[in-house]
Amino acid sequence: MRTFHIIVLSGAALLAGCGTTPPALPPPVPCIAELTVFVDETPWFENWVDENGNANHCDGVSPSATFRLVSPASFTGKVVTITFRAEGKDLPQPPSSSTTGTLFVIELPRDFLEGDYSSIHNMHVNELRIKP
C-alpha cells in the first residue's frame, strides 16, 4: 500500500516537475446544441477496480438528455447524451422534457468532444442553459 502511494506521488511530481504546479486542464469548449431526446428514467451502471484491486459496481436510474451539436463547426452533428446522476447547486440540472427542439449552450471537456465518447456524467459538464 505504501509503495503504491509513493509511485503515484512520484509520477505526479515527474509530470509536474519538482516544486511546480501541474498544468491546468484546457478550458471547456462552449457548444450550441439542440435537445433531441429527454428521458425521465435512464438505467446506468458503472464498474471499476479500486486502488486495492477490488472490483466495484454501482447502478441506478437517472434522467438523461440527448443533444445534437450545431456548433462549433468542428463538432457539428456529434450526438451527446448527458446523464444527470449527481445533484448539487453547482451542477447542471436536467432540462424539461417540454424543451425538446430547443437550443442550449453547453460547455463540454475538449478531450470528451475529440474522443470517441457519446455520453457524459453531468459532473463533467461545466454549463447547460437554454440559449438566449
Summarised one tens digit per residue, pLDDT across range 41-84 is: 999 888 989 999 999 998 999 999 999 999 999 999 999 999 99
Cβ neighbours of residue 37 closer than 8 Å, sequence gap 6 or more: 65, 66, 100
Look at residue 7 and tell me whether its pLDDT is greater than 70.
no
6 located within any domain: no
Summarised one tens digit per residue, pLDDT across range 81-132 is: 999 988 888 889 999 999 999 999 999 999 999 999 999 999 999 999 999 8
1 located within any domain: no
CA distance 58 to 95: 24
10 located within any domain: no
CA distance 46 to 61: 12
Q: Per the structure, how many domains does the chain have? A: 1
92 located within any domain: yes
Domain membership of residue 60 as a residue range: 25-130
pTM: 0.75
Evaluate whether 58 touches 45 at the Cβ level (below 8 Å): yes
19 located within any domain: no
Look at residue 33 and tell me whether its pLDDT is greater than 90.
yes
